[in-house]
Structure 1
Amino acid sequence: MSLGKKIVYKSVCLSLALLVGIAVFQRNLAPDQFLQEPPPPPTPGPPKAQKPSGQLVNPNDFWKRSKEPVSPAPMASWGPQAWEVTSANCSANVNLTHQSWFQGLEPHFQQFLLYRHCRYFPMLLNHPEKCRGDVYLLVVVKSVITQHDRREAIRQTWGQEQASVGAGLGARRTLFLLGTASKREERAHYQQLLAYEDRLYGDILQWDFLDSFFNLTLKETHFLRWLDTFCPSVRYVFKGDDDVFVHPTNLLEFLADRRPDEDLFVGDVLQHARPIRRKDNKYYIPAPLYGKASYPPYAGGGGFLMAGGLARRLHRACDTVELYPIDDVFLGMCLEVLGVQPVAHKGFKTFGISRNRNSRMNKEPCFFRSMLVVHKLLPAELLAMWGLVHGNLTCSRKLQVL
């Protein structure tokens, strides 16, 4: 069987396994074995829609909020062993609606600002055991419910876990970060699929907010709070997207000369990037939302590496910064609060090896073998490249990027 056919076959098998497994899941397990108790119904509002848990929610609650204010957890030898946010209610900040600058914004930015104060939400799937014991490198991947094929490709390649990454070193463990399905009519079905997938692999963290582009920043804040709560001793964290190629051996080789107590934050860093004002661009930001001429230095969100101690300090710094629609820029703002400069490394290619996406360099396995992170590959491409890089590959010259 050819490589391409094997890849297609694996993807089809995974989809069938998930669908068939739902019947077993529904017959043998109660949903609340995977999901926390649903929140009480919110106060009456506009027409309502059905939520996976069976509770009615206001469709305008784009971002929900706990009733009780959330304060950062104190540093401890082992943080509080619970996610303390249990309520999912959130009210819009209607004071903004009377201001002229707000009325001139596009509707999706208005909605973002109305609920920007809603920072933390209940957990639906949790795996604190991932941080038990000596964990040297925690690999964390942003994903969405519908992209189980990407998660499966990562589990077979760079997301594979190790009990020990070397003599005297701890484990390498992997987690995926998710919200809830953005299409309300499909949410219950996808939630069941996800619960079954998590039963198989036990590697998903999920929170009760909608998965959307603007809510990527919520994944940053929620993961950092989760890390501060459950992972006080993890030495390093790699965080990336589910469409990147990562070379774990090169990551570990890079970290071999580093100390965990360093303020390490390394990736594909952008300096003096300017807010995009073109409305047809995905990253468009209106001037009332960000009036400065440029952003602070930040690393592309496709993949970056940071020390565990710095990540826990970032949690507290981010709590002092208003949420921003672009998640990697938001992290740059948090680093600025701490006075930490992200470090550029040429082995991180979050925009592709060549900025020209049609360049043959972006498909050359000899380049991939020397990189740490490369964006962007679909599951079949990732599996194929992984096989080439870790096969009997002969390159004419060695690229030194570490």
Structure 2
Amino acid sequence: TFLNIREYTFYKTKSFFVKSSLGSSSSPVLGDESDAQRARVSNGTPATWDAQVLNCSEDSTVRTKDWFRRLDSRFHQFVLHRHCRYFPMLINHPEKCRDGEAHLLMVVKSVIEQHDRREAVRKTWGREHTVDGKKIKTLFLLGSPTNGKDTKNLQKLIEYEDMIYGDILQWDFMDTFFNLTLKEVNFLKWFDIYCAGVQFIFKGDDDVFVNTNNLLDLIGFKVEERKVADLFVGDTISKAIPIRNRQSKYYIPKELYDKPYPPYVGGGGFLMSSQLARRLFVVSEDLELYPIDDVFLGMCLQRLHLAPEMHPGFRTFGITRRRVSPMNSEPCFYKNLIVVHKLSAQELLRMWSVVQNEDLVCINHQKLLATCSVM
């Protein structure tokens, strides 16, 4: 199935521990919680993560529906378990936001096997540091290894990685494409519980380049303009319709969704304010999960009667859509943009090094972006 359904019992001392029904030894869920956090309740959510025991069986009533019988079989498990929304945490870091001083939280979607990408992000745009008194913190969002893989060893490796860096949030659902939306809703709930003091969130993939200074400049402009409450900025896609090509990764059958999509941003990278993130969490709980996470967030924005803001600095389809174009490897674009998708770990490290070089001289910013915009 798409969901990795197990039962867990959580034992609480000063820190949390998890015991798996697979019989593995208890492993730490790092970080304890303060009295203030335990007492805090926002929008009716609990003061701590409360998805402690999960036994989520399929919704068998769906099988009786005519539309379900016509539905492409690859979507059956998703639909049957669509009501399974929040999952036990295998690794938690409530202390990440504890000091209440984080200006920007970099939240990166990843999978267990992509350790080289996480290493590259930590060494480049995801490095935790302070810029002009503004703290930047980083977290990676993970699910569990899919069936058929060396599950126990992979889990031990990710726990060891987290012991070193302390920057991983992991939930007990299978890390599959259809479950990316679970990362969205579980993170929004986690953020609402634990991150009262964080001001902005950048949410992105582990294969993007982010120019952190330009991102902070954009935040500064929005603060000066007092346009923070509804801030949701990225590479906006408007007037899109579901893809009906069965060979496409983003294929959606008519039985599942049969109307145009609301405006949404490419999930490679976008910026939002904490105020809006909390409102998205509230409305997300009343929406059925959708198998494309970018579109799901667009649906949440639509519920709030908002649309994402388009910004030319976010290039979630690359600098040009022709991947063979030499412009996609031109460092001056990376110096003047905010987000560029898609790079390997090696390309990210190399481009970061070039862009940070003070000897790099580029032409006028506006001319550069204008050239890029017509590609």
Q: Distance in 1 between matches of 2:285 and 2:268?
A: 23
Task: Report SS of the residue matched to 1:85.
Answer: coil
8 Å contact from structure 1 (residues 35, 124) kept in 2: no
The yes-or-no answer on 1:37 pairing with 2:24 is no
The yes-or-no answer on 1:97 pairing with 2:63 is yes
| Pairs within 5 Å for 1:136-215 | 136-162=103-129, 164-167=130-133, 170-215=134-179
Residue in structure 1 matched with residue 258 of structure 2 by the alignment: 291
The yes-or-no answer on 1:245 pairing with 2:209 is yes
Among the aligned pairs, what percent are the same residue? 52
8 Å contact from structure 1 (residues 180, 208) kept in 2: yes
TM-score (norm 2): 0.86
The yes-or-no answer on 1:82 pairing with 2:82 is no
8 Å contact from structure 2 (residues 107, 140) kept in 1: yes
Change (3 A) 1:104 1:75: closer
8 Å contact from structure 2 (residues 43, 282) kept in 1: no
Cα offset for 1:87? Answer: 1.0
Q: Distance in 1 between matches of 2:317 and 2:359?
A: 24
Of 321, 328, 342 in structure 2, the residue corresponding to residue 376 of structure 1 is 342
Residue in structure 1 matched with residue 229 of structure 2 by the alignment: 262
| Pairs within 5 Å for 1:2-401 | 36-38=17-19, 51=22, 53=24, 74-75=42-43, 81-133=47-99, 134-162=101-129, 164-167=130-133, 170-259=134-223, 261-292=228-259, 294-400=260-366
Residue in structure 2 matched with residue 44 of structure 1 by the alignment: none
Task: Report SS of the residue matched to 1:257.
Answer: helix
Task: Compare 92-101 and 353-362 and name the one that shifted more.
Answer: 92-101
User: Is there any run of 5+ residues in structure 1 with no aligned partner, and where?
Assistant: 1-31, 42-50, 56-72
User: Is there any run of 5+ residues in structure 2 with no aligned partner, and where?
Assistant: 1-12, 27-40, 371-375
Change (3 A) 1:230 1:33: closer
8 Å contact from structure 2 (residues 59, 80) kept in 1: yes
Q: Distance in 2 between matches of 1:371 and 1:312?
A: 28
Change (3 A) 1:369 1:318: same
Runs of 4+ in 1 over 4 A off after TM superposition: 32-35
2:112 is matched by which residue type in structure 1?
I
**For the aligned residues, what is the CA RMSD?**
2.2
8 Å contact from structure 1 (residues 158, 248) kept in 2: yes
Q: Distance in 2 between matches of 1:52 and 1:153?
A: 33
Q: Distance in 1 between matches of 2:46 and 2:191?
A: 11
Cα offset for 1:161? Answer: 0.8
8 Å contact from structure 1 (residues 297, 332) kept in 2: yes
Instruction: Spell out, residue by residue over 1:275-329, the C-alpha distance to the aligned partner (whole angstroms, 9 max, x if none).
Output: 101101110000010011x100000000000001110111011111100000000
Change (3 A) 1:52 1:248: farther
Cα offset for 1:108? Answer: 1.9
Change (3 A) 1:202 1:52: farther
Instruction: Spell out, residue by residue over 1:90-126, the C-alpha distance to the aligned partner (whole angstroms, 9 max, x if none).
Output: 1101111122221122222011100000000001101
Instruction: Spell out, residue by residue over 1:320-366, the C-alpha distance to the aligned partner (whole angstroms, 9 max, x if none).
Output: 11000000000000011111210000000000000111111101001
Q: Distance in 2 between matches of 1:92 and 1:178?
A: 23
TM-score (norm 1): 0.80
8 Å contact from structure 1 (residues 178, 205) kept in 2: yes
2:42 is matched by which residue type in structure 1?
P
Aligned residues: 339
